[in-house]
C-alpha cells in the first residue's frame, strides 16, 4: 500500500492522542514511562475500555460546530477552564500530587485540551496502566467508575476545558472504592463484557 493511502486512512485523532503501556519505574511521573520495547495502544482499544476521544479545532472552540454537536448530544451543559502549571494553579505541588492519586468519579470526566499537553493514565482489563498523551485539540471522556489519574508532561502546562452534565461534581474517590454503584456499572459494562469476549475468542 502506498504511503499516501496509508496517510489518508489514518485516524485524525492520532495527531493529538497517543497511548502506550507504562513501565514500572518510579522516576518522575512527568516522563513518558514507555516500556522497552515500546508497546503502543490503539484508540480502538481505548474505545473498548469506554474511553471516548475526538480531535477538535482548539483555535476556534468558541464557534466550533462539532464541539457544539457533541455537547448537545451528550448533555454537557456546564463548561469552564482549568490551567495546570506552577504559575497558574494555587497550591500547585499539592494539587498535582492529588491529581496523580489513583481514583474514580461517579460521573464522566470530560477534558478538552485547548493548549499544552498532559497524561491521563487508565487501567486495562488486566489492571495494567495505559498512559494516554493528550495534546492541543484532543478531547477525552473517561467513563464514570473507571480508575485513572492525571499528570502534566515535562512541558509543565495544560489548559483544559472541563465539561459536565448539569452542576459539576469533582469529588474523587480514591482506590479502592469497588462498592460504589458507578464502579460496579463500569465493571459490568466494560470489563466483564471484554473478559467474556476474550474467553469466547480463545475457545473458538
CA–CA gap between residue 173 and residue 105 (Å, rounded): 6
Q: Which of 189, 1, 13, 16 is nearest to 113 (CA)?
A: 16
CA–CA gap between residue 189 and residue 87 (Å, rounded): 40
Confidence bin at 25 (pLDDT 50/70/90):
very high
Q: What is the pLDDT of residue 200?
A: 43
37: preceding bond cis by omega (within 30 degrees): yes
Q: What is the pLDDT of residue 193?
A: 72
Q: Which of the 8 DSSP states describes residue 40?
A: B
**Whether residue 6 has pLDDT greater than 90:** no
**Whether residue 5 has pLDDT greater than 90:** no
Alpha carbon of 22 to those of 43, 50, 149: distances in Å? Answer: 16, 19, 13
Q: What is the pLDDT of residues 102-121, one digit of tens each?
A: 999 999 999 999 999 999 99
Residues 55, 10 contacting (CB under 8 angstroms): no
Run of H or E including 203:
helix 192-203
Residues 18, 131 contacting (CB under 8 angstroms): no
CA angle at 87 for the pair 116 and 76, rounded to the nearest 5°: 50
Task: Give me the chain's average pLDDT, please.
Answer: 92
Q: What is the pLDDT of residues 36-54, one digit of tens each?
A: 999 999 999 999 999 999 9
What the block records as the C-alpha cell of 131 is 498512559
Q: What's the Rg (C-alpha) of the chain?
A: 17
Q: Which of 160, 150, 121, 154 is nearest to 19 (CA)?
A: 121
Q: Phi first, then psi: what are they for 52, rounded to 5°?
A: -95, 155
Beta bridge mates, 80: 162
Q: What is the pLDDT of residue 194?
A: 59
Number of other CB atoms surrounding residue 104 within 10 Å: 25
6: preceding bond cis by omega (within 30 degrees): no
CA-CA-CA-CA torsion sign (184, 185, 190, 194): positive
Amino acid at each position: 500500500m502506498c504511503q499516501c493511502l496509508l496517510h489518508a486512512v489514518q485516524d485524525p485523532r492520532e495527531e493529538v492522542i497517543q497511548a502506550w503501556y507504562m513501565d514500572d519505574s518510579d522516576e518522575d511521573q512527568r516522563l513518558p514511562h514507555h516500556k522497552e520495547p515500546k508497546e503502543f495502544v490503539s484508540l480502538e482499544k481505548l474505545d473498548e475500555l469506554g474511553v471516548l476521544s475526538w480531535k477538535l479545532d482548539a483555535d476556534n472552540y468558541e464557534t466550533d460546530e462539532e464541539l457544539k454537536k457533541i455537547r448537545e448530544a451528550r448533555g454537557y451543559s456546564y463548561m469552564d477552564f482549568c490551567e495546570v502549571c506552577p504559575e497558574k494553579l494555587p497550591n500547585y505541588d499539592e494539587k498535582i500530587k492529588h491529581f496523580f492519586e489513583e481514583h474514580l468519579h461517579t460521573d464522566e470526566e470530560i477534558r478538552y485540551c485547548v493548549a499544552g499537553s498532559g497524561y491521563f493514565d487508565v487501567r486495562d482489563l488486566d489492571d495494567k496502566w495505559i498512559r494516554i498523551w493528550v495534546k492541543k485539540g484532543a478531547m477525552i471522556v473517561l467513563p464514570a467508575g473507571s480508575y485513572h489519574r492525571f499528570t502534566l508532561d515535562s512541558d509543565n502546562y495544560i489548559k483544559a476545558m472541563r465539561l459536565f452534565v448539569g452542576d459539576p461534581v469533582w469529588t474523587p474517590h480514591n482506590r479502592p472504592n469497588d462498592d460504589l454503584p458507578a464502579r460496579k456499572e463500569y465493571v459490568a459494562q466494560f470489563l466483564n463484557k471484554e473478559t467474556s469476549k476474550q474467553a469466547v475468542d480463545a475457545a473458538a
